[in-house]
Structure formats: C-alpha cells, structure tokens
Amino acid sequence: MSLDYVKFTPGFEQFMPKEYRDMVEHGPFGKKTTVSQMGSFKEILEEHPMCAGCAMTLFIRLAIIAFPNPEDTITVGTAGCGRLAISQAAIPFVYGNYGDQNGVASGLSRGLRLRFGDKPKDVVVIAGDGGTADIGFQQVLHSWFRKERFTTIMLDNEVYGNTGGQESGMTTRGAVLKMAPLGKKFEKMDMVTMAKVAGCSYIATVVPNNPRRVESVIKKAVLIARDIGPTYIQAYTSCNIEYAIPTDKVMEDAKTVEDDRYKFTEYVSDEAKAYLAERYGYKEFIPKATAAVTTA
Amino acid sequence: MEPTSVIGTKNKKNQVFTDPRIMMREAPRTPSFYTGSEVIKEAIRRASIDVMIAYPITPQSEAAALIGELFAEGYIGDYFRGESEFAVMSQCAGAAFGGARVFTTTAGPGTMRAMENFPMWAGARLPIQCIVTCRGINSPLSIQPDTIEISYLMQTGMLVWHAETAQDFYDWILMGYMVSEEPDVHLPLALCCDGFFVTHTKDVVDLTPTDMCLPPYDPYRSPVPCMDMECPPVRMMRDPFIMKSNYISYATHASWQQEIWAAAERSRKHTIAWLNGLIETEDIDADVLIVTSGTAVSQGREAIRLLADEGIRVGLVKIKTLRPWPEEEIKEATKHATHIIVPEFNVIGWMAKEIKATIPRSERVVAGPRVCGGMTMPPEIIVEEIKRALGVRSTTLAARG
C-alpha cells in the first residue's frame, strides 16, 4: 500500500470521523511501533466484542503490533473467537469457510506474489486450535509440506470457545468438556512436532504474558515466511470462560501453564537463521567466528 | 489500470492482448479436431489465467493435467495440485481474493466435496471459473455421466451455464470470464458439461488464433475491495454481524444475499450479447417441443430427425444458462406448444421441475425421458416418449429400461 493513502484528502480533515483521524495521525502505518509503546499510538486492533479478561485478545493485539509491515499485511482466519476481534482490525481479514484458512492463504500468497513480485505482501493466518488442528488440519499440513510462504498462528485456548466449550484436538487428556463428558480420551496433539516434520522454517510456542517475546517471535515468523518457507507459532491463549479462570488470574494462569507445559520454545532452521542475519541484521544469528585452529 | 490499455501489447508468450469482441467474433477461426479436454486446454491457453489449481477426479483429470502443461510452457502464472476439492476451491478463493484470474475444474463427488465454497465464492464476489464435467455422485460409486450435481450448483448464487458441445465449451470459457468479471456481475461461473460425452469425445472445434489472448483481469473493477492492502486502511467491520441477533444484522445478510442474486440477473444483458441469447430455438411453432440443456439437446436433435422421417414435427429449445434462468425466454418459446418434452441425464428431473415452475399450464411438461448413473440416452427413447405423449402407437421399443 502506498503510504500516500494514509493521508487526508486536503480539505476533508475536519469531516473525517475521529476514529479515522486518529488512525491517520497516530496510527502505526509506515512507523516502527513496538509493544513497549502500547498506549501511545492508535492500534490497528482496538475495540472488540471479546470477553472480559480474554488472554487471546491481548495476544492478538500484541501480534498485530508486531507485524513488521502492517501497511502490506493481510490476515486470514476461520470460525472461532479470534476472528471476532481480527475482523475489526484496520487491515484486511479474509474469512473463507470453516477450516480452510491455510488453503485460502496459499492461494492469496501466490496470487499476491504474481501481482506484486518482490514487494512484500505478508500473509498471516490467525486461527484457533480447532480451526488449525481439527477441521483445518489437512490444509494446514499440506500448506506446510508445499512450503507455502506465509505464517500460521494458532490461538490455542484448548477448547472450542466460540461454540460454547467443546473438546478440541488440542485439549489436554482428561479434561471434561462438552462432547467429552467422560474426559478427553487422548493426548493433546503435538502440532509443534508435526510442523517440524512438515518442514516449517520457524516454529515457536509462546504465552501472552511476555509481550516482548510475542513481538519477537511474530516478527521473525513473518519475515522468514517472506522468502524462506512456512512458519508456525502456537500461542497459549486461555479461555477464562470455559476453563473458569477468574478474570484477575488470567495472566497468573498463563504463567503457571507456561512453567508447567507450555514452555517457550523456538526452532529456527539454518537457512532461516542465515536469512535473518543477512537480510534483517539479526545479530544472534550471525555465525560466530570459528575458534582459531590450534595445531597440536 | 484501464483494462483496455494493454490491448495490442504482448504477453511473455508473444500472444497479443486482444479486444475480446474482436478475438471472439471477428478473428479467423481454425477448425481443429480435439477432445473436449483438449478444447479446455486450448481455451485456457488464450484466457490469460493467473492461477489454476488442480485435483484428480474422473472425468476432469485430463483437462486439469493438460493445463499443467500450459503452465510448464509459461501460459499460466501459477499452477499446483491441491489436496482435495475443498482445499482446491479454498486455494482458488485465496488467489481470487488477492486479485488473480483463477480457473479450476472438478466433477461429481468433487463438486459435492467442494460445495461449501461455492456460495462463499458468490458471496465474496470472486469471479472464479470452475469447469464442472458432470458425473454420478451416488452410492454405489459411479464415475459415469450424470447431471445431478448441477441441481445443487443452481442454488449457490453462482452463474451456471450448461454447454452442449465442445464448441460451446471453447467459446463459453473465454466469454465466461468477460461476463463474470463485469463490475455489475462479478460472480463465479460454474461452466458445466456432461462428462465423457463432451470431455472424452473428439469433435471439430473452430479455434481463435493462438497468438491472441484475453486482456488480463483487473481486480480494481471489483465491486468489493481486493484483499491486497492497496486500498486506504479502514476498519471494514464493527461488531461483526454474525454475532448479532437483531433486525439490522438480519437485514444486512438478507440484502447481501439478494444482491448476489440480483448480480446474477444483471449478467443477462452481458450474456445475451456474448452467447446470442440465453436459449436457442428451432421450429418453435411446432406443437411438440424438446426443451433441455447439455448433450440431452444433441440427443433431442437426433430424435427430431427420426420423427421428421415419420412426419411428426417437433421443435427444440436449447437452454444455455441455468443461472440466470431464462424464464421469460422459455415462456415465450413454449407459448404455442401443447407438449413439452424434457429429456434429462439425472434421476430427479431438475430441469423438468424448473420448467414446470416457469411456464403457465405446466401439465404440458412431460418430465422425461430420464436416464442416470451413466446410461446413454438413445434418441429412440425420446421418440417413444413423444409418441406416447401424442397417443401415437409406437413401433420402437429400443433401449427401454
């Protein structure tokens, strides 16, 4: 998008809604805003219909702030709580069918590459655990095997929240939920390992209570997906309603779950490391000088 | 970008972007002897397609693979095999959301597996073209010709056309994009044919010059924003309507659905201009008319010839577009008929039901003969149906049952 679009037509400033004026004057387009500046700029996602205390909403806000190039980013999703917020963001959100987000993103990413060549158009899938690991599983895995160059973010609240609390493949074993009246009979699906097997170039697991870390993984994932290959981020974004987490304990729960079974993990392929170092100056991935060879 | 601005320039295959009216109506045609699948390939060679996504299912597999050859030759921007028809149609949607001209093909159970996508395509105003080479969808499994899937497609909001011959197919693929992509239409097109009968038989088809192609798709003629982030940033939605149980929410959904069907209606004027009408007629002053679509029309022509030998005069109405439905045209064409015979390649007789719902005095409609599950339709059974309707003693019992 030309940043010329993010301007007022001369003479129309006073007639534009305040919402739009704020977006033009204080929005993030064309600027390098960071999560540490939250509260000092107009966010792409602000008002939303999500539940009070929703960790998922915080994560989505952080993720969108972290997009390296919001003025050329298109999000894709499917049914679930997350899309209720994402569809109100000031960047396009494509909703196709139930569970087809990685198929839509495959076509979108290819279509945009045909039309815009080397100009980055970042495609980011943001979908829930049911949308990603259950109904969308085939298209997710195949998009990874095909090495489609876009980012997939799973909002893992370990339950079908939007439809009222049913078991998903990402629910932990034993949890009693709707459609699992005797407790879930099988283990939480290991999507991280599947992402590795399917060839993702970058994989991370995060929780939302460390904004800088969320920002860091999202940025890396989106940048790597431009040229290297598929990237996958799995975020624990608890459902405080279905899991009865008191609103003021949501972050505490995230910390507990992180310590217990949702530790921060990050896999970066060698090719992706070299790319981040060379193209974007990531110091941690610049190969260290090899130790001087000593002779015996 | 004005779409006409590229007219006269060349693509990377040295084809000249040509005014479609000149390409389709005035350019010299070369008679060529091809299978229906090869004809699809030749039309797509000239269609300036950005993205084609393929998946194997009989009887469209050959056409889908042949377009892969076009990709290898450099005529198509991108091409790959998806993992199922549902996935393919989702991938097609993504490419179209991003502003690409998109083509795909499917058949029978593939159409049914992909079905969730078709109303979504229409609702999202994606002018994707999907070739449907109809075949059975029933259990026990059948791969043979059967047109029952068309009856489902007709309720999706897509444009639905039904080709009789390979020549129809060739012309309508190219003309289809011109109609689909009009700003006041901007809807997907299901271009149907009867599998095997059209795809796997050879016919002489008059092709336009190889060095001419359609002008490229211009996504900024779409009535809805292209999802390429090239528009001024706005919040497109506040309080998603799906969450609301109130009158405004219902009215929003209702009016958009009505708009989709209105857009299909608005395609009439463009379609009439390109296809020379939504129907074709022959000898409609006759008391008896055969009214149908697809290869049932071809079989009807044979039946008419057989009956003419016996001194029985029968006219013909070939229905080319099922959506939009040529209601007024059919009413007018059948107004003198006493018997309206509707031969069909499916068990439920959806065409006869549509016609009955369209014309006055629907008892004139003879809903048959019908064959299904891959049976052929010898002209003799149409002859027999007509004779029975007329109370003429039949000497022909061929192919009953």
Q: Looking at the domain assignment, is residue B263 inside a domain?
A: no
Q: Looking at the domain assignment, is residue B165 inside a domain?
A: yes
* pLDDT for the residue numbered A267: 98
H/E run at residue B262 = helix B247-275
Q: Looking at the domain assignment, is residue B397 inside a domain?
A: no
Looking at the fold, whether B285 and B214 belong to one and the same domain comes out as no
Dist. CA B321–CA B278, nearest whole Å: 6
Distance of CA A74 to the CA centre of its chain: 12
Based on the number of CB atoms within 10 Å of its own CB, is B272 exposed (0-12), middle (13-18) or buried (19 or more)? middle
Backbone phi and psi for residue A260, each to the nearest 5 degrees, phi listed first: -85, -55
Q: Looking at the domain assignment, is residue B398 inside a domain?
A: no
* pLDDT for the residue numbered B243: 63
Give the tens place of pLDDT for each residue, A82-99: 999 998 888 889 998 999
Q: Looking at the domain assignment, is residue A20 inside a domain?
A: no
Looking at the fold, whether B152 and B52 belong to one and the same domain comes out as yes
Looking at the fold, whether B70 and B162 belong to one and the same domain comes out as yes
Residue ranges for chain B with pLDDT beneath 70: 1-4, 232-244, 395-401
How many contacts does A have with B, using Cβ atoms within 8 A?
151
CATH number of the domain where residue A112 is located: 3.40.50.970
Average pLDDT, integer, range A235-245 = 97
Looking at the fold, whether B28 and B173 belong to one and the same domain comes out as yes
Distance of CA B89 to the CA centre of its chain: 16
Inter-chain contact B232–A5, Cβ cutoff 8 Å? yes
* pLDDT for the residue numbered B247: 81
Cβ of residue B227 closer than 8 Å to a chain A Cβ: yes
Q: Which of A4, A97, A101, A152 to mutate to test the interface with B (most CBs of B within 10 A)?
A: A97
CATH number of the domain where residue B10 is located: 3.40.50.970
Looking at the fold, whether B285 and B210 belong to one and the same domain comes out as no
Give the tens place of pLDDT for each residue, A173-204: 999 999 999 999 999 999 999 999 999 999 99
Q: Looking at the domain assignment, is residue B376 inside a domain?
A: yes
Q: pLDDT band for position A47 (50/70/90)?
A: confident
* pLDDT for the residue numbered B242: 66
CATH number of the domain where residue B292 is located: 3.40.50.920
* Residue A142 lies in domain: 52-285
Looking at the fold, whether B24 and B131 belong to one and the same domain comes out as yes
Looking at the fold, whether B178 and B29 belong to one and the same domain comes out as yes
* Residue B105 lies in domain: 3-221
Cβ of residue B246 closer than 8 Å to a chain A Cβ: no
Dist. CA B229–CA B134, nearest whole Å: 38
Q: Looking at the domain assignment, is residue B401 inside a domain?
A: no
Tally the domains of chain B.
2
Q: Looking at the domain assignment, is residue B297 inside a domain?
A: yes
More confident residue, A39 or A2: A39
Flag whether pLDDT at A294 surpasses 60. Answer: no
Nearest Cβ partner for A71 among B117, B229, B237: B229
CA contacts within 13 A on the Cβ side of B262: 8
* pLDDT for the residue numbered A276: 98
* pLDDT for the residue numbered A48: 86
Looking at the fold, whether B304 and B211 belong to one and the same domain comes out as no
Q: Looking at the domain assignment, is residue A34 inside a domain?
A: no
Burial B131-161, CB ≥16 within 10 A → b, else e: bbbbbbbeeeebbbbbbbbbbebbebbbbbb
Backbone phi and psi for residue A178, each to the nearest 5 degrees, phi listed first: -60, 145
Residue after which a domain boundary falls, among B199, B221, B243: B221
Q: Is B317 helix (H, G, I), strand (E, B) or coil?
A: strand
Nearest Cβ partner for A111 among B83, B95, B243: B95
Nearest Cβ partner for B87 among A93, A113, A142: A142
Tally the domains of chain A.
1
Residue after which a domain boundary falls, among B174, B201, B221: B221
* pLDDT for the residue numbered B401: 45
Q: Looking at the domain assignment, is residue B247 inside a domain?
A: no
Flag whether pLDDT at A226 surpasses 90. Answer: yes
Inter-chain contact A92–B225, Cβ cutoff 8 Å? yes
Query: Nearest-CA distance from A204 to chain B in Å?
Result: 26
Q: Is B259 helix (H, G, I), strand (E, B) or coil?
A: helix
H/E run at residue A85 = helix A81-86
Cβ of residue B232 closer than 8 Å to a chain A Cβ: yes
Cβ pair B205, B167 in contact under 8 A: yes
Looking at the fold, whether B53 and B202 belong to one and the same domain comes out as yes
* pLDDT for the residue numbered A187: 98
* pLDDT for the residue numbered B283: 98
Flag whether pLDDT at A130 surpasses 70. Answer: yes
